[in-house]
Amino acid sequence: MSVVPEQISASDLADLRSSLRGLLTSASDEEAVRAVVESETGYDEKLYDRLATELGLHSLALPTPYGEGYGMEVLSVVLGELGRFVVPGPFFSTVVLAAGALVASGDQAAMEKHLPGIAAGSTVATLAVIEPDGHWRHEGFTVTAERSGDGWSLSGTKAIVPDLLSAGVVLVAASTPEGDALFAVDTATAGVERTALRTLDITRRIGRLDLDDASGTLVGAPGTLTDLLDAVLDRATTALAAEQVGGAEACLEMAVGYAKVREQFGRRIGSFQAVKHKCADMFARIELARAAATEAARAIDGRDDAPPAGEAAAVAHSVCSEAFMFVAMETIQVHGGIGFTWEHPAHLYFRRAKADQLMFGGPATYYERLLERLGVTNETSTK
């Protein structure tokens, strides 16, 4: 039986948002973001540590005794602010993907080994599911695992793994003779090769994982991976939706601010009807996305009056992905020529929006997922 997370008051949520925004305003402004994406690690390790130690963000949504026992509603506030500032770093891959998979596995030994480090910010972890065909799948993995002495040996390739090069632990979905299963692999172990990939979003690094008889530790039980990955996907797309709303809000503020000061034909461009309409359309998309993201977070947390988590997460993934992409493109349009240059911050949000849209499959994939969660099969949809 699942445990409904602790709730937090609206004033406390506002304080959390204010504290985090204050820190990121000074520590992760545009100049800082541009500097760290060019660094070896691709993120500010000192800031990452401060988020964990000073604000306790990594432990907020982890179950007790590893964390504070809050849920997705609280974590969404954090992700919204990280999205607002397009903060580079492994927070999403570690706290949402890896920690989410560990909790969903129910494996007490694995949680005791890894969650304390994740909560403290000392362990960077990620989840490896996507293989060379580019699909997020729940079964039939080409990466294989076989028993080897008292442990397991893994071989194969994971093509797209977020924050792989920063991770000390990677959770790998693999096929075994006993059923599909999840394994924890130390990235420093023999047989593990990590390759950095050049991708569109320069604020979220991606890598390819090649395993050649690499040692791994079983997490959970073989044959339970489909349900585990379903739960992780619902949680991850809901978390991503919150991040997308934050990014879209920053874009709108950027566009409105520019429209108020940029003059053309002797008038500020914000006075032109076409620009007003663009900004109004952006605002409407964001409000719809915010509602979808909020409802999905409540559903993930198991609130009594919330819809089924799978449906709400699928709706949020679709609505928020489209909204962020739309707002990011319109922001460039409002800025005109300067918005098309790499020197302007709008491109950071556009890159993030497009990469987020494709992270768990593009529009065709998430529409299909939504229909599936609503119980509409291919057979019934063609009638």
CATH number for the domain that contains residue 286: 1.20.140.10
Q: 217 and 138, same structural domain?
A: yes
pLDDT top residue among 338 and 64:
64
| 233 lies in the same domain as 105 | no
Domain-embedded: residue 3: no
362 & 282 share domain = yes
Looking at the chain, the whole-number percentage of residues with pLDDT higher than 90 is: 80
Share of the chain above pLDDT 70, in %: 97
One domain for residues 214 and 240: no
Strand partners, 208: 195
pLDDT, tens digit, 9 for 90 and up, residues 104-118:
999 999 999 999 999
pTM: 0.93
| Total of domains in the chain | 3
The predicted pLDDT at position 378 comes to: 60
Task: Report how far residue 194's alpha carbon sits from residue 206's, in angstroms, rounded to the nearest whole number.
Answer: 10
Per-residue pLDDT at 382 exceeds 50: no
For residue 341, is pLDDT > 60? yes
* Lowest-confidence pick of 23-27, 261-265, 349-353: 261-265
Is 42 in contact with 205 (CB distance < 8 Å)? yes
What is the pLDDT of the chain when averaged over all its residues?
93
Characterise 106 by phi-psi region: left (phi > 0), alpha (psi -120 to 50), beta (else): left
Q: How many residues does the chain have?
A: 383
Contact 243, 356 (CB under 8 A): yes
Over residues 293-315, the pLDDT tens digits come to 999 999 999 988 889 999 999 99
What CATH number does the domain containing 199 carry? 2.40.110.10
Residue 219 confidence (pLDDT) above 60: yes
Give the residue numbers spanning the domain of 40. Answer: 10-124
Please check the confidence at residue 39 and state whether its pLDDT lies above 90. Answer: yes
* 327 closest CA partner among 277, 269, 281, 275: 281
266 and 373 in a single domain? The answer is: yes
* Terminal-residue alpha carbon distance, the chain: 38
Residue 379 is predicted with a pLDDT of 54
